[in-house]
Amino acid sequence: MTAPPRGPASFVRHPISRAVAGLIGPRGLRDTSALRRAVRDKVVVVTGASYGVGAATARLFAAADARVVLAARSLEQLRVVADEITDAGGKAYVYPLDLTSEQSVAEFAAAVLYDFGAVDVLIHNAGKSLRRSIHLSYDRPKDLTATTGANYLGPMRLTMALLPGMRARGRGHIVNVSTVGIMFPVMPKWGFYLSSKAAFDWWMRAVAMEARADGVTTTTLYAGLMHTRMSAPSAWMRLLPGQSPSDAARVIARAVVDKPRTIAPIYGHPSAIAVPMLRWPLEVGIGFVYRFLGDTPASLASARPSPDDRFAADDQEATGDRGVAGSQKEAGDRGAAGGPGVADDRAQAGSQGEVGDHGVAGGRGVTGDRGVAGGRGVTGDRGVAGGRGVTGDQAAADGRGVADGRVQDCGQEMAGDRGVADGQGGTGDSSVAGDRIAGDGTERRSAH
């Protein structure tokens, strides 16, 4: 299977379609000189800055003479963006950040505060989108941990790490790039994504009420359709008018300059008002329609993988699940042959066994209905010791550890949903080659 197209359909770029998108909004900042006055020499942190909206935002703010901190898991791609910025005369600084890892967030915040002293603008752009029927997630706890980590817990932890400095100085601005989807009726298949986005939105609004008294302002951008790699796997989205990454970057710039409490497309707030009053008929009607709609190829491929159904690591976005490079692969809840695997819950290398939802590699059993343990097998949710093989659903030979959350094998560690083997790492629902994170959290690149 080939990777899905990354951009919108050709007619969406037509001037008429662009005009419709501009009318729907939200509108962006037109006066770039106003942005320069607002952020010149200010420290601006942009999460998810390796691609799409984050990269476009970093370029725009750097062009306005801000000192831009680029944060993401993909260090190599961050360096590409940083090089583009410095070649154009801007200032960019690269730091690794994995929002699903509490340790990574703490190390990132400590490194940035140590290097710059304070942060003036924090832009929560990174996120994990997921559209998948719930029955495909029964045996995939990482669908929960990846979306809540990237969309809720990670941004919350980062805010709590940087907010005290802003309040102590009496100034600062935080932009939460959310989704207009949380203003819409509840939609089947979007439960993990929309619930995690809504959770952070409510938390951020509560925090804003306290922080505003100390001079710290916040803006929530309820973004409409943006044509990025995140929306690409949904074919119907590629047919609708929407904003490009550069359009969205200008909306974020407007949030920083004008500091409104909310920004949304023209249909956002009317929808938020109507939905509670029409809840029953909307849920019945939408539920009926969605019985006839399937899942995206990305979601199906992740749930029932085959060698031909995996996307290359660099062709995937945070939508559905993604393929894995190197000797690792994530295959729903199945183990991987020939290298460290990623599957159900947790595994530790060694010779000891664990029961419940925990498995052990290296001559013992692995749990979660799938498993690999040096040619040994797995049964149900119980570890199997002593080299006896018991088949669950699938077992892979010559693997070392199979788990969903953490694997330790020969000094390698998987934290959160992050796999690390032979210098390769991945987070969320994917492993991506080259996404390496410094052990001390201070690997960064300063370019002037």
Catalytic residues: 193
Q: Compute the half-sphere exposure of residue 293: CA atoms within 13 Å on the CB side of its CA.
A: 16
**Complete DSSP assignment for 191-225:** HHHHHHHHHHHHHHHHHHHHHGGGTEEEEEEEE--
Helix %, strand %, coil % of the chain (to 5): 40, 20, 45
What is the distance between the alpha carbons of residues 165 and 179, in angstroms, rounded to a whole number?
Answer: 28
As beta bridge partners, residue 221 has 177, 263
Q: Biggest alpha carbon distance in the chain?
A: 70
Closest Cα partner for 183 from 260, 264, 243, 128? 264
As beta bridge partners, residue 179 has 223
Which H or E element spans position 395?
A: strand 394-395
Three-class DSSP category at 46: strand
Which residues lie below 8 Å from residue 58, measured CB to CB, with a gap of 6+? Answer: 46, 49, 68, 70, 81, 85, 92
Q: Are residues 223 and 229 in contact, defined by beta-carbon separation less than 8 angstroms?
A: no
Q: Compute the half-sphere exposure of residue 184: CA atoms within 13 Å on the CB side of its CA.
A: 20
Tokens of 63: 């062009």
As beta bridge partners, residue 370 has 394
What are the phi and psi torsion angles at 178 (to 5°)? -100, -155
User: Positive or negative, the Cα torsion across 382, 383, 384, 386?
Assistant: negative
Tokens of 328: 């690792």
Tokens of 351: 């010779």
- Helix/strand/coil (H, E, C) string of 286-336? HHHHHHHCCCCHHHHHHHCCCCCCCCCHHHCCCECCCCECCCCCEECCECC
Q: Cis peptide leading into 15, omega within 30 of 0?
A: no
Phi-psi region of 416 (alpha: psi -120 to 50; beta: other; left: phi over 0): left
